Amino acid sequence: MRCCELQGKKDIKVVERAKPDTVAAGNVLVRVERAGICGTDIHYYHEGANGAFVVQHPYVIGHEFCGVVDAVGEGVAALSVGDQIAVDPNIICHTCENCRTGHSSQCMNARFFGSASTMPHVDGGFQEFLCVRASQCHKVSEPMDPDRLAFAEPLAVVLHAMSNLPSSLVAKKVFVAGAGPIGALAVAVAKIRGASEIVVSDISDTALARAKDVGATLTLNPLRDSEVIAAFGKGKGYFDLVVEASGALPAVHTCVEVVRAFGHFAQVGVLGKALVEIPYSRLASKEVTFCGSFRNGPEFGEAVRLLETGQIDPTPLHSHTFKAEQISEALEVAADKTLACKVLIDFT
């Protein structure tokens, strides 16, 4: 089988490995159809690291993937060969205190497909076949376009980020900083939850156009619309909810200013390993609820259902598709945010 193996910084190769010939009890063998490139994959490829997680040995990256069940291990009753599934990349222990209390995103023994956060690193979804726990698989009731199903993981990340926020956004005003895949999906979720205004900021006009396609009511480029954005920060701020999805410190500062008193601030963008200066006193003085977010918890099934029913249509965010043999080119294109949004790898 073909595997996209990251061997070091700017060094990824398609290698041949033996297809698994046995499937452990409780597991299934997945034939991967599509895999999405995430910002973490881009960091691993371009920098040899993702924040504090440094690549120590060759391994297969990728954690946003969907496919078809190819074989079923002993004891698996809920899945059958041929079922189309999306795979939750979180490999959790189910036994630690956080797992037992429903906070699996903070599993104390977690591993993660395609991540260098543990040693040895965990091979991910940029390969033709992969054995996974049946409990990580979420099947669809009717066959659907894998280009859409591949968005399950990033959508689950957004749903998790918003899980500590008011469940109803009816008539609420929302500001999203960053119009990449995560920011744009946050727009789509805010729209179906009834937000009355959804304002999006990004320095890429291409990204802003996609945000408009999925529900933004106003898009602003801070390079030319700084006065408009600043006006939202007058007094005690304007927005009921701000979602920081860019990981850029200037955007964080903007969010601090435009969120209203008693509003909610969701930090989703990854700020990196360096210490950054965030004006928490400003948040405190406005009595803002600040929520960090990491990966996803039990929201993955909801993400699949929203995609399956068409309540969330990620089609405008799908910008490119490459074959596995083009993985280097795909990662280069995905890094150009003026050109690409969600880049998918086709393993069929």
pLDDT of residue 151: 98
Q: What's the CATH code of the domain at 230?
A: 3.40.50.720
Q: Are residues 303 and 288 in the same domain?
A: no
pLDDT of residue 277: 81
Residues 214, 191 contacting (CB under 8 angstroms): yes
What tokens appear for 44 in the block? 């691993």
Q: Are residues 138 and 58 in the same domain?
A: yes
Give the chain's mean pLDDT.
96
The average pLDDT across 72-94 equals 98
The average pLDDT across 307-334 equals 98
**R_g of the chain, CA atoms, integer Å:** 20
pLDDT of residue 315: 97
Q: Are residues 41 and 98 in the same domain?
A: yes
Range of the domain at 251: 165-292
Number of domains forming the structure of the chain = 2
Q: Are residues 126 and 56 in the same domain?
A: yes
Q: Which of 105-119, 161-175, 286-300 has the lowest mean pLDDT?
A: 161-175
pLDDT of residue 273: 60
Per the DSSP assignment, residues forming a β-bridge with 198 are 174
Nearest CA to 337 out of 184, 227, 166 is that of: 184
- Alpha-carbon distance 303 to 149, whole Å? 9
- The residue whose two tokens read 């500001």 is 175
The average pLDDT across 129-142 equals 97
Q: Are residues 7 and 50 in the same domain?
A: yes
What tokens appear for 244 in the block? 């920081």
CB burial string 3-18: b at 16+ within 10 A, e below? bbbbeeeeebebeeee
122 CB-near residues (< 8 Å, 6+ apart): 59, 91, 111, 112, 113, 114, 115
- Alpha-carbon distance 78 to 242, whole Å? 39
pLDDT of residue 72: 98
Q: Are residues 12 and 138 in the same domain?
A: yes
For residue 275, what pLDDT band results from cuts at 50, 70 and 90? low
Q: Is the pLDDT of residue 276 over 80?
A: no
Q: Is the pLDDT of residue 248 over 60?
A: yes
What tokens appear for 57 in the block? 């040995």
pLDDT of residue 88: 98
Q: Is 161 helix (H, G, I), strand (E, B) or coil?
A: helix
Q: Is the pLDDT of residue 63 over 90?
A: yes
Of 248, 270, 292, which closes a domain? 292
Nearest CA to 30 out of 94, 92, 73, 91 is that of: 73
- Euclidean distance between the first and final Cα of the chain, in Å? 12
Nearest CA to 4 out of 340, 316, 343 is that of: 343
Q: Is the pLDDT of residue 182 over 90?
A: yes
Q: Are residues 113 and 208 in the same domain?
A: no
- pTM (2 decimals)? 0.96
- Alpha-carbon distance 220 to 176, whole Å? 10
Q: Is the pLDDT of residue 7 over 80?
A: yes
pLDDT of residue 32: 98
Q: What's the CATH code of the domain at 121?
A: 3.90.180.10
Q: Is the pLDDT of residue 125 over 60?
A: yes
248 CB-near residues (< 8 Å, 6+ apart): 177, 178, 269
- Alpha-carbon distance 247 to 252, whole Å? 8
Q: Are residues 142 and 218 in the same domain?
A: no
Query: Which element (helix H / strand E) includes 87?
Result: strand 84-87
Q: Are residues 181 and 45 in the same domain?
A: no
Q: Are residues 227 and 329 in the same domain?
A: no
pLDDT in tens, 324-341: 999 999 999 999 988 999
Q: Would you tell me how many other CB atoms lie within 10 Å of the CB of residue 287?
A: 10
Amino acid at 245: A
Q: Are residues 89 and 152 in the same domain?
A: yes
Listed in sequence order, the DSSP H helices in the chain are: 39-47, 97-100, 146-149, 152-161, 181-192, 205-213, 226-231, 249-258, 280-285, 300-309, 327-334
pLDDT of residue 313: 97
Of residues 92 and 276, which shows the higher confidence score? 92
For residue 274, what pLDDT band results from cuts at 50, 70 and 90? low
For residue 207, what pLDDT band results from cuts at 50, 70 and 90? very high
Q: Is the pLDDT of residue 270 over 90?
A: no
What tokens appear for 198 in the block? 């959804």
Nearest CA to 206 out of 341, 326, 330 is that of: 341
Q: Are residues 152 and 7 in the same domain?
A: yes
How many residues would you count in the chain?
A: 348
pLDDT of residue 278: 83
The average pLDDT across 69-93 equals 98
Residues 314, 342 contacting (CB under 8 angstroms): yes
